[in-house]
């Protein structure tokens, strides 16, 4: 897993790309829906306990998302090649 900071908007965008509900992603990451909502609402880095943010990232990556580092153009997400 890359070590760059995951943003709330990346989480929301990744979830949308996969067509997942907040409830479904929260279940996959073993966190509560309110916790996920707070993460997605974050301006900048996703707020929350490090283990919860990591669990969300892992769940999204296992579902087929790649997180892209800012590297000068802003952070992003895309689907992995199938």
| CATH number, position 23 | 1.10.260.40
- pTM listed for this prediction: 0.89
Give the tens place of pLDDT for each residue, 27-48: 999 999 999 999 999 998 999 9
Q: What share of the chain has pLDDT > 70, as a percent? A: 93
Q: What is the pLDDT of residue 74?
A: 78
Q: Count the domains in the chain.
A: 1
Mean pLDDT of 58-74: 89
Question: Does 79 have pLDDT greater than 60?
Answer: yes
Residue 2 within any structural domain of the chain = no
In order, the DSSP letters of 43-72 are SSBPPS-HHHHHHHHHHHHHTTEEEE--TT
Confirm whether 30 is domain-assigned: yes
* Token reading at 20: 């997942």
The radius of gyration of the chain's CA atoms, rounded to the nearest angstrom, is 11
- For residues 68 and 2, is the Cβ–Cβ distance under 8 A? no
């Amino acid at each position: 897993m890359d070590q760059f900071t995951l943003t709330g908007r990346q989480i929301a965008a990744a979830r949308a790309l996969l067509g997942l509900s907040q409830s479904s992603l929260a279940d996959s990451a073993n966190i509560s829906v309110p916790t996920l909502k707070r993460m997605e609402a974050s301006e900048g880095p996703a707020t929350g306990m490090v283990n919860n943010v990591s669990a969300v990232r892992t769940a999204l990556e296992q579902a087929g998302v790649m997180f892209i580092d800012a590297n000068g153009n802003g952070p992003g997400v895309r689907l992995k090649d199938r």
